[in-house]
Amino acid sequence: MRLLIVDDSNMIRSRISRVVQQGGIADLSLVGMARNGAEAVRIARASQPDVVTMDLTMPEMDGVECIEHLLRLNPKLNILVVSALSDKSTAIAALKKGARGFVGKPFSDDELKMALLDVMEAR
């Protein structure tokens, strides 16, 4: 499966990348990283990811709007929302739009791995 990481924080993008690449999640490879929703849509058209980690609060295009665009491109896309717990109501809106899981920031490596595996199995 191909993974696209979407977050406006370079630190969070790098952390998720490190967890996936060094954490040994079988069958998951990184195909792109985006700083906002608009960039994520462009990358998704080119790389056709199967799994996306999605921040909600970002410039240009936020996560909820991005989820709608990505699911129009691929309705079977597995989207894990990775957002601050203070965004809980927005996270619920994202789940209603079609995201399949949620992990709150800050997260541990194990929490992220478990959430990714759950979303990958939801297929």
CB 94 within 8 A of CB 64: yes
Total domains in the fold of the chain: 1
Print the domain residue range for 8. 2-121
pLDDT tens digits for 54-65?
999 999 999 999
How far apart are the C-alpha atoms of 71 and 68, rounded to whole Å? 5
Q: Are 87 and 62 a contacting pair, CB within 8 Å?
A: no
Q: What are the tens digits of pLDDT across the range 71-119? A: 999 999 999 999 986 777 888 889 999 999 999 999 999 999 999 999 9
pLDDT in tens, 5-44: 999 999 999 999 999 988 778 789 999 999 999 999 999 9
Residues across the chain: 123
At residue 49's C-alpha, the angle toward residues 95 and 82, to 5°, is 40
Q: CATH number of the domain that 33 lies in?
A: 3.40.50.2300
pTM of the predicted model as reported, rounded to 2 decimal places: 0.94
